[in-house]
Amino acid sequence: MEDTYRHKGLRRKLVEEIRKKGITDERVLDAIGKIPRHAFITDSALVEFAYRDAAFPINAGQTISQPYTVAFQTQLLQVQPHEKVLEIGTGSGYQGAVLFELSARVYTIERQRELHLKAQQLLGQLGYKLHFFYGDGYAGLPAYAPFDKILVTAGATEMPETLLQQLKTGGRMVIPVGDSEQQEMILVEKLSDGKITVSKHGTFAFVPFLKGKS
Ligand code: SAH
């Protein structure tokens, strides 16, 4: 995979664009500035647009999220080095690479086998060491729980209780919740006294969080 000066220049512009849109976390901006997004776009007709702040179709009718959305979710999650992070919806693997750049230990689940295999292969080539799982994200990963952070990158119709149970005390979960058209970005915090707080952070549009494996 070639990463040219042109790609690097386009990435710098992308970083400035999402900074203007309100992303302030320098670690998140640095991560976006490092990752060769053009390697994650599978459709050759779309590769030249890889550094536009837009979502693009990948295989299996799914999408690679818009960089602003990836940055927004990541910023809200407040990932610290060495934290154990569960990502639901591996997709292209781009969001997983961002989490890895933040020095998190990343566990990522995908229900489309094709995408799971592709992301595993690509991230391996790029040197991003994540733990990949093929399965239903609704079940989470009980064998590896609890997690410091949980990030859902598909639109849910409700808050999955199973995932909440797999969140550490003091942990944060970010999940878009709504209907098939649009979702509210929800931040769930599990406080030390066991209480849960929920806050809303704007409207987004994700592909659906579907039950079961494909
Ligand atoms: N994080 C991805 C975004 C992918 S879009 C990226 O950076 O590219 C959301 C992904 O969630 C899709 O690939 C979809 O197949 C997956 N998905 C939907 N429901 C799921 C479920 N129950 N378990 C695991 N993955 C799921």
pLDDT digits (tens, 9 = 90+) for 114-152: 999 999 999 999 999 999 999 999 999 999 999 999 999
> In 3D, which of 147, 157, 174, 156 has the Cα closest to residue 73?
174
Nearest CA to ligand 1 atom 26: 89
The two tokens of residue 107 are 């566990």
Q: Domains of the chain (ranges plus CATH)?
A: 54-204 (3.40.50.150)
pLDDT above 90 as % of the chain: 96
Residue 8 has pLDDT above 90, yes or no: yes
Helix ranges, the chain (H): 5-20, 26-34, 67-77, 94-101, 113-126, 161-165
Ligand 1 pocket test, pick from 65, 95, 204, 209 with the greatest ligand atom count within 8 Å of Cβ, gives: 209
* pLDDT-based confidence at residue 181 (cuts at 50, 70, 90): very high
Instruction: Render pLDDT for 57-91 as a digit per residue (tens, 0 to 9).
Output: 999 999 999 999 999 999 999 999 999 999 999 99
The predicted pLDDT at position 79 comes to 98
Average pLDDT over residues 194-214: 93
Q: What angle do CA 107, 146, 179 make, to 5 degrees?
A: 70
pTM for the predicted model, two decimal places: 0.97
